[in-house]
Amino acid sequence: MGWISWLCPGINLKRWLLLFAVGVLLCALGLALFFNYQLMGKAEELLFQMTYLTTGRYSNGLIMTMGVGFLIVGFAIMVYGTRRLISSVVSVVVPDKNGSLMETIFMQRKLTRGPAITVVGGGTGLSTLLRGMKYITNNCTAVVTTADDGGSSGRLRKELGIIPPGDLRNCLTALADREPLMERLMQYRFQGDSPLAGHCFGNLFIAAMAQAEGGMEAGLNATSQILKVRGRVIPSTLEDIRLQARMTDGSIVTGESEIPKVRKHIKKMMMLPADAQAANGAIDAILNADVLIFGPGSLYTSVIPNLLVEGIRDAVVRSQAIKIYICNVMTQPGETDGYGAYDHVQALIDHVGTQFLDYAIVN
């Protein structure tokens, strides 16, 4: 009859609920007999007859003994039914059969009470940081740059008129409580000579969700629910922006993917349009954070572009959070050739306009 349980997954649950109810009834009957409560009608008469037929006389002591017996049996049935009931529920709610329920509950409470951490940046550096951050707190928000104009993200940006999803995808995948197969799927890149060649499935998925939900913000929220993301991923701006770099020789290079190619020293980063509005969620995340972390990642094309958005720059200055910059472990060709830790920090301060950092972490 195993097929019945397969067709009716709730049947085991009902079974243990019924067993628990039987235990409650036996306990109630045991208490009534133990305290010699007056039973009503035929039940009282039947009990007296059973006692008399068994012993040849009516005995209050025997009635109390029977009550204790019913109480013990009923309590044992209640305990057993409760254990099986909880086991049935946990087997469905907690996918990890090898995990401890108490450990799972403890970790979830600990993560929920964790500090509010907002990480600002982009690229692979940010997603790498988030992979470890999700084991510290569930209150983690990634504010991600949307200036990417190369690769799959750049193509989708031109063809669909959406903000580039690549860095957003990396952060969502890093924060997701997902199966390894889902991670590989989100990061899978199509091969061959077809129109899909070079596209990442995760980028296409986010683009589809954005169109299905009526906007990128709603699409990211829906994707977060599907991937069970621990925290939030928010673009720094929802506007179509492009990066510009003024070099030390006075030349200007436009385009995030073009800036490192010229191999010149960058003097100042700019953004088109210069008055692009910050996403509301990004500003709130910065102002409400206990800790603000910048980097690691490409200094001029991943971290600083977020600070070019006026609303975000102002929010960073006003924020009362502890502000930390994680310096890259090595220089990046075409961006930070010859830079030391001081040069990285000074570039951030120059673009914000004031000294705002509390700490810098250097390898």
Give the model's pLDDT for residue 113. 83
The verdict on 57 and 139 lying in the same domain is no
Domains in the chain, number: 2
Q: Where does a domain end: 93, 116, 134?
A: 93
Give the model's pLDDT for residue 193. 86
41 lies in a domain? yes
| pLDDT higher at 229 or 33 | 229
Confidence grade of residue 91 (pLDDT, cut at 50, 70, 90): low
Give the model's pLDDT for residue 29. 77
Confidence grade of residue 33 (pLDDT, cut at 50, 70, 90): low
The per-residue pLDDT of the chain, averaged, comes to 84
The verdict on 202 and 349 lying in the same domain is yes
Give the model's pLDDT for residue 11. 47
Range of the domain at 68: 2-93
76 lies in a domain? yes
The verdict on 155 and 229 lying in the same domain is yes
The verdict on 284 and 150 lying in the same domain is yes
Give the model's pLDDT for residue 80. 85
100 lies in a domain? no
Question: Mean pLDDT across the stretch 107-118?
Answer: 83
The verdict on 294 and 334 lying in the same domain is yes
pLDDT in tens, 290-301: 999 998 999 999
Give pTM, 2 decimals: 0.73
Give the model's pLDDT for residue 50. 59
The verdict on 81 and 199 lying in the same domain is no
The verdict on 226 and 294 lying in the same domain is yes
Give the model's pLDDT for residue 101. 57
The verdict on 60 and 125 lying in the same domain is no
Residue 175 has pLDDT above 60, yes or no: yes
Q: CATH number of the domain that 295 lies in?
A: 3.40.50.10680
Of all residues in the chain, what percent carry a pLDDT higher than 90? Answer: 49
Secondary structure string (H, E, C) spanning the chain: CHHHHHHCCCHHHHHHHHHHHHHHHHHHHHHHHHCCCCCCHHHHHHHHHHHHHHHCCCCHHHHHHHHHHHHHHHHHHHHHHHHHHHHHHHHHHCCCCCCCHHHHHHHHHHHHCCCCEEEEECHHHHHHHHHHHCCCCCCEEEEECCCCCCHHHHHHHHHHCCCCCHHHHHHHHHHECCCHHHHHHHHCECCCCCCCCCCEHHHHHHHHHHHHHCCHHHHHHHHHHHHCECCEEEECECCCCEEEEEECCCCEEECCCCHHHHCCCEEEEEEECCCCCECHHHHHHHHCCCEEEECCCCHHHHHHHHHCCHHHHHHHHHCCCEEEEECCCCCCCCCCCCCCHHHHHHHHHHHHCCCCCCEEECC
103 lies in a domain? no
102 lies in a domain? no
| pLDDT higher at 307 or 48 | 307
The verdict on 121 and 50 lying in the same domain is no
Q: Where does a domain end: 93, 126, 149?
A: 93
Residue 282 has pLDDT above 90, yes or no: yes
The verdict on 32 and 167 lying in the same domain is no
Give the model's pLDDT for residue 69. 79
98 lies in a domain? no
Question: Mean pLDDT across the stretch 43-58?
Answer: 57
Residue 234 has pLDDT above 60, yes or no: yes
Confidence grade of residue 6 (pLDDT, cut at 50, 70, 90): very low
Q: Where does a domain end: 29, 61, 93?
A: 93
The verdict on 195 and 240 lying in the same domain is yes
28 lies in a domain? yes
99 lies in a domain? no
The verdict on 179 and 306 lying in the same domain is yes
Give the model's pLDDT for residue 304. 96
